[in-house]
Structure 1
Amino acid sequence: MAVKQPDIELASRASASASTSTAREPPVSWARLPHKSQLLILAACRLSEPLSNTCLLPYLYYLIRSLDSDDGNGHKATTSSISRRAGLLVAVFALAQFATSMLWARLADRFGRKPIIVYPLLASIIANLGFGFGTTIPRVMFWRLVAGIANGNIGVMRTMTAEIVTDRKYQSRAFLLLPLVFNGGNIAGLALGGLLATPTKSLPWLFGGIEWMDKYPFALPTIANAVALTVSLALAVGGLRETLPSRTGPGHRDIGIELRRKFFRLLFRLRAHSYQALSTNEFATSPTTDRSTIHELPQRQTPATPFLPTGSLRTKLIAMTLCGFTFLPLHNAAFMQLFPIFLSTPINTNNTTSHTHVGGLFFTGGLGYDSSTIGLYLSAFGCSGIFLQMFIYPTLQSKFGTLAIFRFAFIIFPLSYVLTPYVLLLNGSIKRGIATAVVLFLQVMARTLAIPSSVILLTNAAPSPKMLGTLHGIGNMFSSLARAVGPAFGGWVSAKGMEMGMVGCVWWTYLTGIAIIGVLMSWRMEEGKSPHERERGELSQRKEDD
């Protein structure tokens, strides 16, 4: 049957109109990201883990050496023993995360997302202070354990991000925000740890003669952490809104937001002569309205059509995505612990003489940097990661896709690990500095591209929005286990390598081996669709079928 000419013209006009509408739609940018205030508060809470976990890395070698010499056994700490203890100290944090991540996810599904962010944040503040004033290895181990428990709620934060921003076109920006803040927290933690450790020696003009700083030389960085996290806690209590549907809407009070309203009302009443107009227009609101927060989350309405079944988590897509999600921290966390030790270990001047033998495999030592140099060095290169995440990653992700970026990042990791030990064989501090910068930049670039990609891939593997919390809880559990096993096993392999005169042992065997397995794993992975878009499509299809 022939199509009438008017119908053809009408279809042509509709197509042209749709094309024009699409062409006029502005590109996705940070400024167009919805609910920015909520995402920024959530990002501030995300600072807890990197500050707690990376602050000690610049001075980890010196901390363990000082505690090891004060244990009363009368033995001198060796590089191999420091490497073992460093691995355990880093691992206990992630092990506690692994043990509690699913518990936090279940509690968040029952009591709401906000309490499971606020209370652990308070515990993290206490743990940071306790760690800074610890004087024995068992004590600092205990406080690392508490900090790990308090930071086992990362999956809950990722779930909140998915519940705040459901449109897939904003995903690359929204899910990039937490890794972006994570990188920023790493930079801040490394800088604070490097600059503020042993302040009476590194900054004598400012802290010289302060007795308690001589007694607790590593307390000042953790105090700075606690102050920063206290600000995050205040923002979360007073500004973060619940996203769990069963805990939102009429009948559910948020005491923190109510206290914030009362505080600002009291503040503006005290300054009514200066802020009368502002107090009248913006803060004289009804008890159920809060106009002081920009871009409030819309109230969730009960859908007219019931949700489809949530589906199963036992799929090949989810299994392979979880494998990739786990293999990334298995070597990356070990690198984060081993590289500062590599930078701190004293230089072995025999590396470039006759002691280098068997094809350049057997040599020891490190670069001999102090904690302040290490902190500044690592934080400076962390800044390059921030630049990549903000300006390069979104463009690459939109052009090549999330999975392609993830695979490319995994290919870079083995290259950086293989090259790292050979930095020691170069003559001259300038050559060593340049070579160290190259291998560090390769690793930073790889993890900067891989971390947000892994989160997006895991989110899009969920069969339903209702399964996001559970899936991210499982992902965080496996990731935490990997971040415990990686540094612990890496520290053990590193110690064995030191004992046999091969500093590169852990780099060429464990780190490179795991990274290569990760490359092979990434090529078996697939990229799913956004669970919110998938569910909307299935509901639409059901309506058409009915």
Structure 2
Amino acid sequence: MANRGDVEEEERLLEGKSTDEKNSGVTTRVLEDKVTWRNLPHKKQLLLLALCRLSTPLSNACLLPYLYYLVKSILDDPDHPSAPQKISRMTGLLVAAYPIGQMMTSMLWGRLSDTYGRKPAILLGLTISVTANLAFGFSRSIGMLLFWRVLAGMANGILGVMRTMTAEIVKDRTYQTRAFLALPLIFNSGRVAALAIGGCLADPVDNLPWLFGPTGLFNFARNPDGVAWTIKYPYALPALFNGTVLALCLIFATLWLKESLPTKEQDWDLGLAIRQSISGFIKRKILRKADSGYTAVQIEEAEVIMADVPIAEATSTGSLTPTHSTTKPYRPPFREIWTRPLLKALLAFALLPLHNATFLHVFPVFLSMPTAPNIHPTVFRFTGGLGLASPTVGLYLATFGICGILLQLFIYPRIQKRVGTLGVFRLANAIFPLAYIFAPYLSLLAGNATAKWPAMAGVLFSQVIARTMAIPSSVILLTEAAPRRSVLGTVHGAGNTLSALASATGPVIGGMLLARGIDGGAVGVVWWCWLLLVALAALGWSLMLDKSEDGDEEKEMAPLEKGV
């Protein structure tokens, strides 16, 4: 009877456990259904982190609308017949210099952030980025432009650190899809602003004559040609704007951003101490508020405090047991990090920028290139660009950047909920080839004002919607492939290194193939022999990824959380 009683007791316990598991599953699904931007935790910290993310679009995208004209202004003989080919090659090198710098430092930033903290790495990177952006605008030789582009890229190797910090700030996987959209959302917003501002502020004497021209408001010296320093440095104004915005982001991050590395979270922070001192001074001396004797804890600060307290669960005896320990997370040896799922996710992560970065370089140059008559074109042999001015290029690209923002806000979460992260990634990779097949045929419509604009819109919208879905999905897939949370900095550093290598290689090859295509009378060479082939390879590899590597599939996270 005793044995029978033990069996019955065990059955009751198992039944109760099964019921709890079912209830837990139902609760998880209910929570996932109710995830919105409004109830996303730690929104202030994510916003600060996203503002720091502006360093990449401001450093990298702002020059795209005027890059062709910048290089042309430096050439000895810009009107020579071979100038378009030479310009396309030099623009490829300038675009590639930035990711080369990223590639050189991404792993270093990741390892340093794992050791010394995420915030110090981000602040140092932003400081270097401010300097590099300001200096770039006042450089008038290809050598100096390349140097400052490389330095800006080295500073922005912190991208992997920012992605790691996002995963550490929002630990609940229910909210991670929205959280990982925050950085790309600000990135796209910054890219929209950078493209529009870069195109409009470049060469301000011609593009903004009412401000910098002979009768402009800022021409205090009444120079007959316009504001003197803008004539000497016609492309310095966008760089000044970039440096100012990034300096403000640096100040905000110093005063408000909190450390997320578990081993450094409780360390004293000089920036937060300065912010508290300034806040206290303003309240006492300016607002004349008396000290109440205690400090009000904001909601998000309370969440951070409670996150450090072990969560207790009731046992069968009614006692409370903490669900996790506060021991130092285990960091495996470097060689044990690179598991098979992680290596597969890293390759998928690298193939995306290999063609996407090339498109972001080639397409603005293609729009800026002079038109060609194409008297007897064939299906594959035709040449020329669309001959658009830099403000037109910048504003046009910015307009479709806004579409990317709207897609990220309203469309991507719904598609991701239906087909999963891996499904969205595959769908995006299936759209890229379509854009690359039809893009070069725009040159045949250069003289048709009625048809060229909707055709350009179709190509650009296809590419924008694809990259809007692909970029956050690739980040989530890489994060979920990490063997432990304690090595996320290293994993994202490796991902950023490969991404930077791809972003450097793609534009260089793209610039050379574009020049070769112009020489041979076939501008489509770069589109069909490089962009299309790489996009098809990325599509094929996305189909090789396993469902188990999808961030939406259930996966044992205990080793990640406990480090055991």
Q: TM-score, normalised by structure 2?
A: 0.86
Deviation at 1:313, TM superposition (A): 3.0
1:106 to 106, 111, 122: 111
Q: CA RMSD in A?
A: 3.0
* AA at the equivalent of 1:232: C
1:43 aligns with 2:61: no
Deviation at 1:75, TM superposition (A): 6.4
Q: Taking structure 1 as reference, are residues 449 and 402 closer, same or farther at Cα in structure 2, changes over 3 Å only?
A: same
1:238 aligns with 2:252: no
2:434 to 415, 418, 431: 415
Q: Is the 8 A contact 2:484 2:561 kept in 1?
A: no
Deviation at 1:69, TM superposition (A): 2.7
2:480 to 443, 460, 465: 460
* 3-state SS of 1:369 partner: coil
2:89 to 84, 92, 98: 84
1:342 aligns with 2:357: no
* AA at the equivalent of 2:348: G
* 3-state SS of 2:66 partner: helix
Q: Is the 8 A contact 2:369 2:387 kept in 1?
A: yes
**Residue correspondence of structure 1 range 44-63 to structure 2 within 5 A:** 44-63=51-70
Q: Taking structure 1 as reference, are residues 422 and 263 closer, same or farther at Cα in structure 2, changes over 3 Å only?
A: same
CA distance in 1, matches of 2:561, 2:64: 51
Aligned residue for 2:340? 316
CA distance in 1, matches of 2:172, 2:21: 24
CA distance in 2, matches of 1:529, 1:523: 12
* AA at the equivalent of 1:189: A
Aligned residue for 2:351? 327
Q: Taking structure 1 as reference, are residues 205 and 485 closer, same or farther at Cα in structure 2, changes over 3 Å only?
A: same
2:455 to 431, 435, 459: 435
Moved more, 169-178 or 61-70: 61-70
CA distance in 1, matches of 2:135, 2:98: 14
Aligned residue for 1:506? 526
Q: Taking structure 1 as reference, are residues 87 and 269 closer, same or farther at Cα in structure 2, changes over 3 Å only?
A: same
1:169 aligns with 2:174: yes
**Residue correspondence of structure 1 range 129-528 to structure 2 within 5 A:** 129-208=134-213, 209-249=226-266, 252-273=267-288, 276=289, 280=291, 297-298=304-305, 300=308, 303-304=324-325, 310=332, 312-348=336-372, 350-351=373-374, 353-354=375-376, 356=377, 359-426=378-445, 428-527=448-547, 528=549
Q: Is the 8 A contact 2:369 2:386 kept in 1?
A: yes
Deviation at 1:3, TM superposition (A): 8.6
Q: Is the 8 A contact 2:170 2:179 kept in 1?
A: yes
Which stretches in structure 2 are left out of the alignment for 5+ residues? Answer: 214-225, 311-323
Q: Taking structure 1 as reference, are residues 215 and 481 closer, same or farther at Cα in structure 2, changes over 3 Å only?
A: same
Q: Is the 8 A contact 1:463 1:531 kept in 2?
A: no
Q: Taking structure 1 as reference, are residues 101 and 541 closer, same or farther at Cα in structure 2, changes over 3 Å only?
A: closer
Aligned residue for 1:33? 40
* 3-state SS of 1:57 partner: coil
Q: Taking structure 1 as reference, are residues 123 and 360 closer, same or farther at Cα in structure 2, changes over 3 Å only?
A: same
Q: Is the 8 A contact 1:34 1:295 kept in 2?
A: no
CA distance in 2, matches of 1:374, 1:405: 29
Which stretches in structure 1 are left out of the alignment for 5+ residues? Answer: none
Q: Taking structure 1 as reference, are residues 320 and 22 closer, same or farther at Cα in structure 2, changes over 3 Å only?
A: closer
CA distance in 2, matches of 1:462, 1:489: 31
- The one-character-per-residue Cα deviations of 1:284-324 (angstroms, maximum 9, x if unpaired) are 656xx875975663364684386677593333211211111
Q: Is the 8 A contact 1:462 1:531 kept in 2?
A: no
Q: Taking structure 1 as reference, are residues 222 and 18 closer, same or farther at Cα in structure 2, changes over 3 Å only?
A: closer
Q: Is the 8 A contact 2:420 2:550 kept in 1?
A: no
1:97 aligns with 2:102: yes
Q: Taking structure 1 as reference, are residues 58 and 421 closer, same or farther at Cα in structure 2, changes over 3 Å only?
A: same
Aligned residue for 2:318? none
- The one-character-per-residue Cα deviations of 1:68-113 (angstroms, maximum 9, x if unpaired) are 1389xx9676111111000000001000100100111111112111
Deviation at 1:203, TM superposition (A): 1.1
Q: Taking structure 1 as reference, are residues 406 and 540 closer, same or farther at Cα in structure 2, changes over 3 Å only?
A: closer
Deviation at 1:248, TM superposition (A): 2.1
Q: Is the 8 A contact 1:57 1:193 kept in 2?
A: yes
Q: Is the 8 A contact 1:197 1:218 kept in 2?
A: yes
CA distance in 2, matches of 1:379, 1:540: 41
Q: Is the 8 A contact 2:357 2:506 kept in 1?
A: yes
CA distance in 1, matches of 2:388, 2:560: 60
CA distance in 2, matches of 1:20, 1:518: 36
CA distance in 1, matches of 2:195, 2:355: 19
CA distance in 2, matches of 1:140, 1:15: 60
Q: Taking structure 1 as reference, are residues 477 and 321 closer, same or farther at Cα in structure 2, changes over 3 Å only?
A: same
CA distance in 2, matches of 1:292, 1:171: 19
CA distance in 2, matches of 1:123, 1:179: 22
Percentage identity across paired residues of the two chains: 46
CA distance in 1, matches of 2:563, 2:337: 22
CA distance in 2, matches of 1:443, 1:87: 20
Q: Taking structure 1 as reference, are residues 456 and 14 closer, same or farther at Cα in structure 2, changes over 3 Å only?
A: closer
CA distance in 2, matches of 1:339, 1:429: 19
* AA at the equivalent of 2:127: L
* AA at the equivalent of 1:133: F
Deviation at 1:402, TM superposition (A): 0.4
CA distance in 1, matches of 2:42, 2:71: 44
Deviation at 1:67, TM superposition (A): 0.9
* AA at the equivalent of 2:423: A
CA distance in 1, matches of 2:456, 2:552: 42
CA distance in 2, matches of 1:231, 1:410: 36
Q: Is the 8 A contact 2:180 2:475 kept in 1?
A: yes
